[in-house]
Structure 1
């Protein structure tokens, strides 16, 4: 375990480095689930080894899926789905929301629970939808139980996915195994993080599943086979945020290797965001290279579709020489913590001039100082804390090990990168 609180390394010279990042959590957990209900064995290459993916592996194993995850590549062998299991969701929204639609296909009860804070995260829309599609569900939030009968009717369902795009993805991922498929309609405020639904649709199609998504707020998955797929997992581009931010705050250069030319990952938006803040951004065969500016500029940006980037963008905005307005992210109040309230509190505690709005943050130039930066068991908050600590003396990050959710030994990796001891 890393010392708590952890003294965030101060970086006094322009950084010049290259990094290779672990695999995408979003792709790994979607790939695991699709492989678990495919028509034959699949292999995942370069998957993410982290708490969230370990929880997904354990949950699928509990349902009778064969998962060999002891090597660099993982082998998944589908089997008859069984109940009489307990799924630990930890703090993984993908486990809490993606596994229940598969558990409804099992035979017998499947009980879901997780970390204490997870009981506050919304899942009711998924559970209500499963009831309408033919499942027997006991409970409205964690803990809850799916009483599987071995099959699902499926059909049309209307949900409000304005709190999380995962509500839609959860139903689509298992939909081809339902007798009538699934026809998901959204009715409510705009769905956040649409790139994640695009990822789900793209991956389903790669498995040979017929998906219709031409109409706004409607997604249809036809019943039918799910082909096995051997897949190379992309680097986690959202986890690139603190490393690219290191170039931005030091005026240095950082190369993230293997950045894909085309991707549905939300982290790809970092290219436009960092360019708007004055960075030089170049995508080449080597990866994505960012050169930090002499003076970091603020920006006015709608982060609705890439809300997970908000903590690091807010940290950069707090260090910028002109004002920033971050908008469109009311939904991140329901992530691992209320991220808007937490960012306003923690950045403000270090001297930032920050105002919380209904759907974002307003930040104005201010002189920051050291202090304790709390993370609220939220890996993205820890990322924000270390970015500020790279530019400000004496910043200590509480519970930096929460980053293991998507990046094992992040603190050690970060310390090695900037040339200090963890």
Structure 2
């Protein structure tokens, strides 16, 4: 049995750092993920007027902060916009673009070259409708961009905007985080054709509630039906949303300072749990909330459906045992970050696994449909790229003798400069103790983006 602890949630760490920075007064945040992406978020919030002072804490990959908040983000003058470098953090870019638009002054939002290829146009269009001046410096619809604002103006849109989640749920979440700074209520109605990754919006609502922000969630059975207000905490039960049939109204108000502890990250834990299924030893992961709103909690169900033995205990641990896996069909629009991990798991399975409804993964840190297909092909796994997913032909139980992905001695693997690719490809090393996967990856340090002590955890479970 191998025992490890899940890292802190990256998604919640971003949101609670933003909430604390917008709360006038002092807040204490504990078990905050300490990663490259979070460094960028904190640096931008600090440049805008908040302060983050370290508190004593345990663990090298998490931090505790005393946060002194600001009334609203403050930018620079038109001649010298405040530089806001998000590097490769899409979460920082999308959430903070909306939040900075609710501030005062001029901001230049930019990042690494790959970030300048990632879309943000739908969010920009809505912010422009709310009275914010935004200019693209290079490619239309992508950073870098110049943002000049005197705050959001809901009266320009009658208090209501339509915002889709076809490409990213972070547009919706960013506007919800910004909305309390507006002078009047803002209703954000879900538009577009489909809603990707709705559970991440649930995490944003959880953050707003914890910082004392008032909001109302409404649904309706069809776009021509009357709206129905969800009572109490019923919004927590939402697992998906239908465009034209859901809206959130956020009241203006002050973020309230407080004390918050960030829960464990199901995304980061997914690699550790998957290792239990395909490795040589059972793996027990602790530090996860089984009632979490995180969409990547779905990894437990996926593992079970694929035939893995999974057990929970009274002490908050989840144990996955080495198991014979089989292929399944999956709609992963609510848990897209799991796709690289599930693709590798599927390589070990008997039969084929089909992953659907994740076309937007081509616009992540890497093309997360092409990258797994390319790397798994090096191990003998055949992967068909679909227009919105993958079809992985597993090797488990094949009659011609190749029963699992094999990593030949001379073959190196590319991370495609993507932290989730690096961690998911690590699963390929678990059947052969002679493989040092860090030496096979072209950029093993890319895990610093979201899980800085991943390699230390990996050594514990090999």
Same fold (TM over 0.5): yes
Q: Which residue of the other structure, out of 42, 46, 66, is the alignment partner of 1:57?
A: 42
Alignment of 1:397 with 2:441, yes or no, is yes
The offset of 1:70, in angstroms, is: 6.2
Q: Distance in 2 between matches of 1:107 and 1:159?
A: 23
CA displacement 1:49-77 (0-9 Å, x = unmatched): 00011111001001011112464311111
**Counterpart in the other structure of 2:190:** 186
Matches within 5 A, 1:151-300: 151-154=151-154, 155-215=159-219, 216-250=245-279, 252-300=281-329
TM-score scaled by length of structure 2: 0.83
Which of 365, 370, 375 in structure 2 is aligned with 1:346? 375
Contact 1:401 1:410 in 2 (8 A): no
Deviations 1:241-280 (A, max 9, x none): 1111111002531111122131111221111011111122
**Equivalences for 1:140-151 in 2 at 5 Å?**
140-149=141-150, 151=151
Tell me the distance in 1 between the aligned counterparts of 2:382 and 2:173: 37
> Which residue does the alignment assign to 2:222?
none
CA–CA distance in 2 between the matches of 1:176 and 1:106?
Answer: 11
Structure 1 unaligned blocks of 5 or more: 1-15
Separation (CA, whole Å) in 1 of partners of 2:129 and 2:40: 27
Structure 1 residue matching 2:430: 3-state secondary structure: helix
Tell me which of 360, 364, 373 is aligned to 2:413: 373
Q: 2:8 aligns with which of 12, 17, 23?
A: 23
| Aligned position for 1:112 | 109
Distance 1:48 1:270, change over 3 A: same
Aligned to 2:70, which of 69, 79, 85?
A: 79
Q: Does the 8 Å CA contact 1:129/1:159 hold for their aligned counterparts? A: yes
CA contact (8 A) 2:281 2:461 kept: no
- 2:395 maps to 1:410: no
Which structure is richer in relative contact order (CA contacts within 8 A, separation 6 or more)? 1
CA 1:136–1:338: 2 relative to 1, 3 Å: same
Whole-angstrom distance in 2 between the partners of 1:17 and 1:358: 38
| SS at 1:53 equivalent | helix
Q: Deviations over 1:326-355 (max 9, x none)?
A: 112111111111100111111112210211
Q: Confirm or deny that 1:95 pairs with 2:92.
A: yes
Unpaired runs of 5+ in structure 2?
58-63, 77-81, 220-244, 396-401
Q: CA deviation at 1:293?
A: 4.3
1:12 is matched with which residue?
none
The more displaced of 322-331 and 180-189 is 180-189
Q: Secondary structure at the match of 2:165?
A: coil
Query: Alpha carbon RMSD of aligned pairs, Å?
Result: 1.7
Matched, 1:48 2:77: no
Deviation, structure 1 residue 228 = 1.8
Matched, 1:316 2:320: no
Match of 2:229 in 1: none
Q: Does the aligned pair in 2 maintain the 1:401–1:409 contact within 8 Å?
A: no
SS where residue 334 of structure 2 aligns? helix
Paired with 1:316 and 1:208, the residues of 2 have a C-alpha distance of: 41
User: Paired residues, what number?
Assistant: 402
